[in-house]
Amino acid sequence: MGKIMFVWLALLVVFLLAAWDTGSILLMRYKVSSAAGDAAFEAASVYKTTHNIDDAKAAALDQIQQQVPGAKLTRDGFVLDPITGNVTITITKRASTLLAGRIGFLKHFTKAVGTGTGSPPTL
């Protein structure tokens, strides 16, 4: 009877850890995706008023760090179309997990990537 109880308790602990990690990963994916969209809109707005790509990128980076501290632009994560003023941003960040980030074959699931495109305001 004691062994069965121990096995069930161990399974419950593993299930709870997996649920926690899954929640952390899903929340990070949502945050990164939302931040990318907001940063793209901010960059498009700044570019519309200044016509300066560096200012637009700086505004996007500020927005990203406010919403998801530690997130980074991917290599080609900032694309601005100077004709339309549309900006596409791709950012990435690893989710903080209890188990998944420490198990080799699960580690890639902890990487959250979000892409957002923003157009300049029309008014």
Judging by beta carbons within 10 Å of its beta carbon (0-12, 13-18, 19+), is residue 93 exposed, middle or buried?
A: buried
Prediction pTM value: 0.86
How high is the pLDDT of residue 2?
Answer: 82
How high is the pLDDT of residue 21?
Answer: 94
- In tens, the pLDDT along 28-59 reads 999 999 999 999 999 999 999 999 999 999 99
Distances (CA, A) of 18 to 7, 47, 96, 102, 112: 16, 43, 13, 12, 17
- In tens, the pLDDT along 59-117 reads 999 999 999 999 999 999 999 999 999 999 999 999 999 988 888 898 999 999 999 99
CA–CA dist 96, 15 (Å, integer): 17
| Closest by CA position to 35, among listed 108, 90, 111 | 90
CA–CA dist 90, 108 (Å, integer): 17
pLDDT over threshold 90, residue 1: no
Phi/psi for 25 (5° steps) reads: -65, -45
